[in-house]
Amino acid sequence: MNSIQQRNLLLFIGGRLISLIGSGIQMIAIPLFILDYTGSGTLMGVFTMLCMIPMLLVAPLAGVLGDRWNRKGIAVYTDLGRGMMIMLLAWLAFGHRMNITVLFTAQIFISIMDGLFNTATAAMLADLVDSDDFNRANASKSAVDCLSMIIGPVVGGIIYGISGIQMVFFLNALSFILSALCEIFILYRMPLQNKAKLKIRSFITENRDALSFINNYRGLQQLFIFVMIANFLVAPIIMVVFPYVLKRGIGFTSQQYGYIMTSFMAGLLIGNVLIGSLLAKARSGTMVKTGLLIQGFLLMVIAMIFFPAIVKEFNGPTWSLFGVIAGSFLVSGVFNAMVNTPLMTNLQKMVPPDMRARFFAALGLITQFAIPVGSLIYGFLLDKIPAHLILGAVGVLNFAITLFFFKYASPEAYEPTVTFQETITTD
């Protein structure tokens, strides 16, 4: 990695560090605000759905634009746009004019910009370094992401508890604006830019090309289906059920909830540091299999801890129960990193540069569209069924699906053997 690549990567991950600290603050605070303002698990599920659906609907357009327009420009303008939108929310909150309708409406526009930003930057990272440095760059980015999300939730719980939602919005808006300033100084030239006029036919054709690429690899198809099912089952648990059960079910404070969620991010940080050092030469397939198996087992363990009989043994929301839950989240985070980072590196190597934005847009759309549906369902169920029963059922079902995936999935699902460079040679 030469000096320019190092500088670009530093600016890229530095901007992410700043903006994700702000996002981490807001990520913790908004579920608490909705819970305090309404007391409704259903509305928490609706908000999570609004975070996801607009972002997924814009994904096909974001993929095409990310392969046609300057990816750096998309990142800068969407960061500035989100900063201004959230600053408006801060102004309304300081004036005591904030309500659920305003929050939900603003989130739709923020989610659209999230979709444009995420697709462009997912493709852009691989343009900043050589392919031999993909794993190191991904581990560095993920480690910085985790560090910011360690700081953000802790600070978010404290700031929300002391200063309220208005200060949370202000700090997050400021973080997006500072992130845009970092991105402006990245030296970047768009590779293989398509300058042809975008028409409906070309829009459809270009997205179909990305889907055809996925369809050519059986392992990719299986991986996408598995991740989609896992996201439907597990991701809404983190977004909707955990805040509800930790605060309402067990009785932890906002600050303690923030610390528990931070422990998962600390595990992700540790996992990515290990990948970039001790596990740098480990086979990605081995890491992915190990990570999936232990994550599935730990979800069942965490579900058992939340059962009332176990909580009673710890005498409620004591620090000893807090330590057990936080420790479980920490270990789960370590093995989550061993799944996500190697998979991302493999995908970046497989996909041609001029298709990366469309590919990652398709990846996001296919694997994540089930999250808002699951969030809405879990939000509804929380008002009808005890949270520990939901967690127990999901934990067992997720582990069974993981074992099924191990038994029947193609080896290519864990460790693709064909890369973009090899494909060029054989053609």
Q: Could you give the C-alpha distances from 162 to 100, 142, 174, 310, in angstroms and in order?
A: 21, 30, 19, 32
To the nearest 10°, report the CA torsion of 182, 185, 189, 190: 30
Provide DSSP, 333-400.
HHHHHHHHHHHHHHHHHHS-GGGHHHHHHHHHHHHHTHHHHHHHHHHHHHTTS-HHHHHHHHHHHHHH
Per-residue pLDDT reduced to its tens digit, 301-356: 999 999 989 989 898 888 999 999 999 999 999 998 888 888 777 777 777 777 77
Q: What percent of the chain has pLDDT over 90?
A: 14
Regarding the domain delimited by 3-186+211-426, which CATH topology (the fold level of the hierarchy) does it fall under?
Growth Hormone; Chain: A; (1.20.1250)
Name the 3-class secondary structure at 222. Answer: helix
Q: What is the model's pLDDT at position 300?
A: 92
Per-residue pLDDT reduced to its tens digit, 21-47: 887 788 778 888 888 878 776 787 788
At 128, list the tokens. Answer: 């900043």
CA 114/CA 79 separation, integer angstroms? 9
Start-to-end C-alpha separation, the chain:
28
In the chain, domain spans: 3-186+211-426
Name the 3-class secondary structure at 45. Answer: helix
CA 421/CA 417 separation, integer angstroms? 11
Per-residue pLDDT reduced to its tens digit, 58-91: 888 888 888 778 888 888 999 999 999 999 999 9
The residue whose two tokens read 């392919």 is 131
Q: What is the model's pLDDT at position 192?
A: 58
